[in-house]
Structure 1
Amino acid sequence: MVAALEWWSGTECTLYTDPKSYPLYGNENAIVVLNHAFEIDFLCGWTFCERFGVLGSSKVLAKKELAYVPVIGWMWYFLEIVFCKRKWEEDRTTVAQSLQNLRDYPENYWFLLYCEGTRFTPKKHQISMQVAEGKGLPQLKYHLLPRTKGFYVTVQNLRGTAAAVYDSTLNFRNNEVPTLLGILNGKKYHADLYVRRIPLESVPDDEAECAAWLHKLYQEKVSENKKRELCGRHG
């Protein structure tokens, strides 16, 4: 599927990041926090993994229904992908157990996490910002409120084995709205991925403080142009 993105459709994905962080990518375990605004987000995330040699050892927190999708779901199951029902009372223990299995994983891995929990749409954004207002949180323009419980459990179970959080934001140029069907039809898109490496020790241990930290992370996500100014470019 990564080949379909880069070879078949010719889609270009340009990475912007701190040059000092660049040599560490692929050489350490990490939690990758991705935004979820496009149909092919997951393909660009896998491209990021493939570029640094960790595609085969990448893991995601995915909804249980995806385990039953032919080919992809079965492949994810055997690759030890962490599945959840999105019912936290049931998920907390099973997710923690799955994450504990990664502590002695024999290769460097990246754990990909969509903290928003669902893909961005105007309707979902409106509802999410009503929740933000009710909780006294700042409004987010391009993101939904992050779901903090899954992030906290991930951090606590991978602390000591994962070295960093990669704060990652994906955008497409020229207001493109990429689709999987477009990729399969050979349509070329232009993606920009902005990655900021944050040492895991800077994430608080306390659950409430960790939640506040994640909310602040989403509040700090900046526009494409600002990130282009702040980061070095790696094609």
Structure 2
Amino acid sequence: MGLLGFLPANLRGVVLVAPWILYLAVSDVALSLLLPVKTFAPDFVYRASSLIASSVWKWIQYIFEGCNGAHITFSGERLPMRESAVVVSNHVTWADFYMIQALALRSDMLGQCRWFAKIQLRMVPFLGWGLWAMGMPMVTRNWMRDQRELQRVFGGIVRRKWPTWLISFSEATRFTPQKYEESKIWCSQNGRPQPLHLLYPRTKGFVATVQHLRKAPHVKAVYDITIAYQQKGRFHVAPSMWETLKLSDLSGSEGYRFYIHVRRFPLEELPHLDEELAAWLEQRWIEKGEWLDEVKAACAVR
């Protein structure tokens, strides 16, 4: 990659990403071709799509960490290898998926990551069909509309015992100062605690996910992930998506720092009542905010 260092940043990004985009297109076609097979060979399609997805995601992760020098600081608990889990995380920026993929790669679960995605993506040729073939939950964020889709996704995990990380950003949208102010107003009006540096989490999807996946004996835990960024002492400043692909020294001369904090909670120890599960998630967000406040304080003194 030394020769790429002499190229202008945008050209460097194109040279790095163009082969990956071509491979992504081929992979989406392959995933789409698997879709008709899913009816009579669902286990085969799940395994095949997981292998394809792993190769796609590993490649772009290598661009981010290996080629562009992103150094991620991990803290918290060490996760078991190849354990199926429900994964919840805060949502700061598009770069968040790099943080979760880095963790999944180190836990040998990269290909088994399944993300909650917007249902509109289903209509995108090849890409949307590929996500459908993989078993991604395609949701509208309207709870009543999403119940049937979630039953489809949960059914494969529960009945067929598919290994998975079922990943959701529980705030349902990326953090912005404006959304933070709106979250504070909502919490004040509804008597809910406002977490620091976070939006108040939406609990219905989490509760439904946990209650359904209790029936899957191979799903052992909930992973609570907290993501943070800084650049040269400025808290929660992250590179744009294009910057993660074109800049050659993200954690060096560019001054970006990437943090991921992990907590593991055995599923069997979570509350059983819906209201208690919602309160449990709320408490995790309060604790996440406290950890983020510590990161912010550390950033300020550097």
Match of 1:92 in 2: 147
Cα distance in 2 for partners of 1:125, 1:225 equals 15
Shift of 1:39: 2.0
1:144 counterpart SS class: coil
In structure 1, give the amino acid aligned to 2:246.
Answer: N
1:11 to 57, 60, 70: 70
How far residue 70 of structure 1 moved from its aligned partner, in angstroms, is: 6.3
Post-superposition offset of 1:98: 1.2
Q: 1:76 deviation in Å?
A: 2.4
Report the equivalent of 1:210.
Answer: 277
Deviations 1:99-122 (A, max 9, x none): 121124565321111110000111
Question: Tell me, which stretches of 5 or more residues in structure 1 are unaligned?
Answer: 228-235
What amino acid sits opposite 1:213 in the alignment? Answer: W
The match for 1:2 is 61
**C-alpha distance in 2, partners of 1:105/1:6?**
34
- Structure-2 separation of matches of 1:131 and 1:105: 40
Among the aligned pairs, what percent are the same residue?
A: 31
Quote the Cα distance in structure 1 between the aligned partners of 2:209 and 2:145. Answer: 16
Judged with a 3 Å threshold, the aligned counterparts in structure 2 of structure 1 residues 125 and 23 are, in CA distance, closer, same or farther, namely closer
Counterparts of 1:166 and 1:17, CA distance in 2: 11
Q: Which has the higher contact order (CA 8 A, sep 6+)?
A: 1
In structure 2, how many angstroms separate the alpha carbons of the residues matched to 1:225 and 1:213?
Answer: 20
The equivalent of 1:232 in structure 2 is none
Aligned residue type for 1:134: Q
Residue correspondence of structure 1 range 47-66 to structure 2 within 5 A = 47-66=102-121
How many Å separate the matches in 2 of 1:119 and 1:225?
Answer: 18
Figure out how many residues of one structure are paired with residues of the other and give that number: 224
Structure 2 partner of 1:233: none
The answer to whether the aligner puts 1:164 opposite 2:217 as a matched pair is no
Q: Distance in 2 between matches of 1:214 and 1:169?
A: 13
Could you list the runs of 5+ residues in structure 2 that have no partner in the other structure? 1-59, 251-255, 296-302
Distance (Å, rounded) in 1 between the aligned partners of 2:142 and 2:136: 18
Q: What are the within-5 Å matches in structure 2 for residues 1-235 of structure 1?
A: 1-18=60-77, 22=78, 24=80, 26-68=81-123, 72-105=127-160, 108-161=163-216, 162-174=219-231, 175=234, 176-187=237-248, 188=250, 189-221=256-288, 222-224=290-292, 226=294
SS at 1:223's partner residue? helix
Instruction: Give RMSD over aligned pairs.
Output: 2.2
Which residue type is aligned with residue 76 of structure 2? T
The TM-score with structure 2 as length reference comes to 0.68
Which has the higher mean CA deviation after the structures are superposed, 198-207 or 217-226?
Answer: 217-226
